[in-house]
C-alpha cells in the first residue's frame, strides 16, 4: 500500500480538495474518494516524490518539520474534538485538513489509516517517533487504558505549550547578543583585512619605532589577511574534532558535566533541565503512567548525560525499595529544594502536585535569570565591540599624532 497525494473536486459543492491517502493503487484511491463524494483529478504516489526529493537537495526542509508548537496546537485541537464527542478517526481526519505542515499532514493521514485498520492510537503514533516522542506515546497509551484520553491530550497540550514557551523565551533573550557577536565579528574582520593594511602601510617609511599596540595590530592584520584560509581551516578542523569527541560517550559525559559547572550558564543549564524533568514527571504521573516508566522517560528529556546517569541510578535504587528523593539528594546535582519537595510529596501522597510546584518555580527562575542575563549581555557586547574598534582607532591614530608632533 502506498501513500498518494491527491487533488480533487467535491461532487456536491464543486469545491477543490487535496490531501494524502493510503491506497493499493490509483484505481482504488479513485474508488475510495468517489464513495466519499470526491472526484479525483490528480494523484501522485508519495514514494516517487521521495525519490525525486533525494535527487534535489532541499535546503529548507527543516523549516517544514513540525515544531513543538505545531504539535501542541494539533494536540489542543484534538483534545477539543474528542471532548466534544467526535470519534477519534473523524477528529484525525478533521485535523488533516487544518494543519499546514506537509509532513504533519502525511503523518496524520498514516495515523488515520492505521486506526481504521484496528491499531490503537498510541501504537499508530509510536511509528512516527521523530514527531511524537516516547513521552507523548506513553501518555496517550495511559489515556487509552484509563478511558481519559481527552484529559491526557489536554495535559499534553499544556505541557508542550509550556516547553515551547520556555524555549522561545530563552532563544529570544539570547538572539540579540548572538546577533551582535556575529555583526561585531564581521565588522572587525572587515576592518582588519580591508582598512587596517591600507592605513598602516604609511608607517613603513617612518623610520621610527611604533607603539606596541600598533605593532600588535599590524601583526594581527597581516596574519588575518595573509593566512585567513589557514585560520578558517584550523577552526573548521577544531570544530570537527570537538564534535567528534562530543559524540563519544566519554566526551558527552565530560562536556555535560562541565556545562553544569560553568559560571552563570552552569546554573541556568541545571535549572532548565530540572524544570523540564519535574514537569515531564508530573505530567506522566498525573496521566497514570507507572513511576518507573515515567522516570525512564523523564531521564531521556534531560538532555544531559550526567543528570541522566543520576536518574538512572535513582531508578535502580527505587527498584530496590528506596525513595525517589534520597538517591537524587545523594548525587549532589539536584538542588536541595527539589529533593525536599519530592520527599514531602512522597510522604503526603501528593508527588504530582509537588513536582508541578517545582517545575513552576524553576521555570519562573529560568525566565528571571534569562531576562537578567540578556539585559547584562546587551550592553556588555556593545562595550566589547566599542573597545575593539577603539583599540584599532587608537593604534592607527597615535603614530600619526606622534609623527605630526615631530614635524612641528
**DSSP per-residue letters across 196-231:** HHHHHGGGTTS-SPPPHHHHHHHHHHHHHHHHHHHH
DSSP state of 302: S
Q: Are residues 26 and 74 in the same domain?
A: no
Is residue 19 over pLDDT 80? no
Domain assignment present for residue 210? The answer is no
- What is the C-alpha to C-alpha distance for residues 87 and 280, in angstroms, rounded to an integer? 28
Contact 39, 18 (CB under 8 A): no
Residues 296 and 324 in one domain: yes
Which CATH number is 270's domain given?
Answer: 1.20.81.30
Residue 378 within any structural domain of the chain: no
- Give the number of domains in the chain: 3
| pLDDT averaged over every residue in the chain | 81
Same domain, yes or no, for 276 and 356? yes
Query: Per-residue pLDDT for 13 more than 80?
Result: no
The verdict on residue 370 lying in a domain is no
Classify 118 as helix, strand or coil. coil
Domain assignment present for residue 47? The answer is: yes
Note whether 151 and 80 are same-domain residues.
yes
- Do residue 33 and residue 85 come from a single domain? no
Which of 158, 189, 221 is at the close of a domain?
Answer: 158
Residues above pLDDT 90, as percent of the chain: 5
Q: Which of 206-215, 244-253, 302-311, 372-381 has the lowest mean pLDDT?
A: 206-215
Asked if pLDDT for residue 395 goes beyond 60, the answer is yes
State whether 10 and 50 are in the same domain: yes
Residue 60 has pLDDT above 60, yes or no: no
Contact between residue 91 and residue 81 where contact means Cβ atoms under 8 Å apart: yes
At residue 6, does pLDDT exceed 70? yes
Per-residue model confidence (pLDDT) at position 390: 87
What residues contact residue 322 under an 8 Å CB cut-off, 6+ apart? none
The Cα 308–Cα 328 span in angstroms is: 11
State phi, psi for 56 to the nearest 5 degrees. -100, 110
pLDDT over 70 at 279, yes or no: yes
To 10 degrees, what angle do helices 68-83 and 88-98 make? 140
Identify which has the larger pLDDT, 51 or 349: 349
pLDDT the model gives residue 56: 42
**The domain boundary residue, chosen from 129, 158, 187:** 158
Residue that is last in its domain, among 139, 158, 177: 158
**Cβ-Cβ contacts under 8 Å for 235 (sequence gap 6 or more):** none
The pTM for the full model equals 0.66
**118 or 200, which is more confident?**
118
pLDDT for res 206: 63
Same domain, 21 and 100: no
For the cut 60, the answer to whether the pLDDT of residue 1 exceeds it is no
Same domain assignment for residues 37 and 72: no
Q: Which residue has the higher pLDDT, 378 or 57?
A: 378
**Alpha carbon distance 281, 294 (integer Å):** 6
Same domain, 359 and 309: yes
In percent, how much of the chain has pLDDT > 70? 91
Q: Are residues 75 and 138 in the same domain?
A: yes
Q: pLDDT by residue (tens digit) across 293-340? A: 888 888 877 878 899 888 988 898 888 888 888 888 888 888 888 889
- Is residue 236 scored above 90 in pLDDT? yes
| Together in a domain, 287 and 339 | yes
Compute CA 20 distance to the chain's CA centroid, rounded to the nearest angstrom.
Answer: 28
Report helix, strand or coil for 39. Answer: strand
Q: What local confidence, expressed as pLDDT, does residue 48 receive?
A: 46
- Reported as a pLDDT band with limits 50, 70 and 90, residue 237 is very high
Q: Which domain holds residue 348?
A: 265-363
pLDDT at 407 (0 to 100): 58
Q: Specify if 294 maps to a domain.
A: yes
Residue 141 has a pLDDT of 84
The answer on pLDDT for 25 being more than 90 is no
Residue closest to 224 by CA, chosen among 192, 191, 184 = 192
Residue with cell 536518574: 311
pLDDT of residue 51: 38
Give the Cα separation of 279 and 142 in Å (integer). Answer: 17
Is the separation of the CB atoms in 307 and 298 below 8 Å?
A: no
Most confident of 140-154, 241-255, 376-390: 241-255
**Number of other CB atoms surrounding residue 342 within 10 Å:** 23
- Which cell is 160 given? 508542550
**Least confident among 31-40, 46-55, 83-92, 116-125:** 46-55
pLDDT, residue 238, reads 95
DSSP state at residue 350 = -
| Segment 46-50 mean pLDDT | 51
pLDDT at 57 (0 to 100): 41
pLDDT value of residue 53:
45
Q: Which of 288, 42, 38, 280 is nearest to 142 (CA)?
A: 288
- The reply to whether 200 falls in a domain is no
Q: How far apart are the first and last CA of the chain?
A: 91
Q: Does some domain include residue 397?
A: no
- Are residues 53 and 72 both part of a single domain? no
CA dist., res. 201 & res. 220, Å (int): 14
If phi > 0 it is left, if psi is from -120 to 50 it is alpha, else beta; for residue 19 that is left
Give the C-alpha separation, 342 to 345, whole Å.
5
The answer to the question of residue 380 being in a domain is no
Amino acid at each position: 500500500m502506498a501513500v498518494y497525494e491527491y487533488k480533487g473536486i467535491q461532487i456536491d459543492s464543486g469545491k477543490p480538495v487535496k490531501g494524502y491517502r493510503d491506497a493499493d493503487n490509483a484505481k482504488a484511491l479513485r474508488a475510495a474518494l468517489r464513495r466519499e463524494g470526491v472526484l479525483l483529478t490528480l494523484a501522485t504516489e508519495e514514494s516517487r516524490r521521495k525519490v525525486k526529493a533525494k535527487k534535489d537537495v532541499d535546503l529548507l526542509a527543516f523549516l517544514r518539520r513540525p515544531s513543538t508548537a505545531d504539535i501542541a496546537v494539533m494536540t489542543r485541537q484534538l483534545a477539543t474534538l474528542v471532548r466534544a464527542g467526535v470519534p477519534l478517526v473523524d477528529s484525525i481526519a478533521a485535523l488533516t485538513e487544518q494543519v499546514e505542515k506537509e509532513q504533519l499532514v502525511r503523518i496524520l493521514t498514516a495515523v488515520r489509516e492505521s486506526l481504521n485498520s484496528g491499531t490503537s492510537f498510541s501504537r499508530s503514533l509510536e511509528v512516527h517517533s521523530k514527531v511524537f516522542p516516547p513521552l507523548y506515546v506513553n501518555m496517550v497509551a495511559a489515556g487509552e487504558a484509563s478511558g481519559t484520553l481527552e484529559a491526557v491530550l489536554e495535559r499534553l497540550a499544556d505541557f508542550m505549550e509550556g516547553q515551547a514557551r520556555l524555549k522561545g523565551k530563552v532563544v529570544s533573550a539570547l538572539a540579540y547578543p548572538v546577533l551582535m557577536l556575529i555583526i561585531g565579528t564581521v565588522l572587525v574582520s572587515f576592518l582588519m583585512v580591508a582598512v587596517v593594511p591600507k592605513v598602516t602601510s604609511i608607517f613603513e617609511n617612518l623610520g621610527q619605532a611604533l607603539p606596541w599596540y600598533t605593532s600588535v595590530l599590524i601583526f594581527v592584520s597581516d596574519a588575518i589577511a595573509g593566512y585567513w584560509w589557514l585560520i578558517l581551516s584550523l577552526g573548521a578542523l577544531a570544530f570537527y574534532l570537538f564534535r567528534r569527541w562530543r559524540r563519544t560517550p566519554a566526551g558527552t559525559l565530560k562536556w555535560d558535566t562541565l556545562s553544569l559547572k560553568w559560571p552563570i550558564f552552569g546554573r541556568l543549564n541545571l535549572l532548565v533541565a530540572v524544570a523540564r524533568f519535574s514537569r515531564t514527571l508530573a505530567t506522566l504521573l498525573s496521566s497514570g503512567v507507572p513511576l518507573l516508566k515515567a522516570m525512564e522517560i523523564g531521564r531521556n528529556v534531560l538532555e544531559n548525560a550526567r543528570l541522566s546517569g543520576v536518574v538512572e541510578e535513582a531508578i535502580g535504587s527505587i527498584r530496590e525499595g528506596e525513595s525517589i528523593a534520597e538517591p537524587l539528594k545523594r548525587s549532589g546535582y539536584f538542588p536541595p529544594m527539589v529533593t525536599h519537595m519530592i520527599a514531602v510529596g512522597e510522604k503526603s501522597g501528593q508527588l504530582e502536585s509537588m513536582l508541578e510546584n517545582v517545575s513552576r518555580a524553576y521555570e519562573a527562575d529560568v525566565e528571571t535569570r534569562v531576562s537578567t542575563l540578556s539585559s547584562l549581555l546587551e550592553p556588555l557586547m556593545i562595550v566589547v565591540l566599542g573597545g575593539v574598534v577603539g583599540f584599532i582607532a587608537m593604534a592607527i591614530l597615535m603614530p600619526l599624532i606622534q609623527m605630526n608632533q615631530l614635524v612641528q
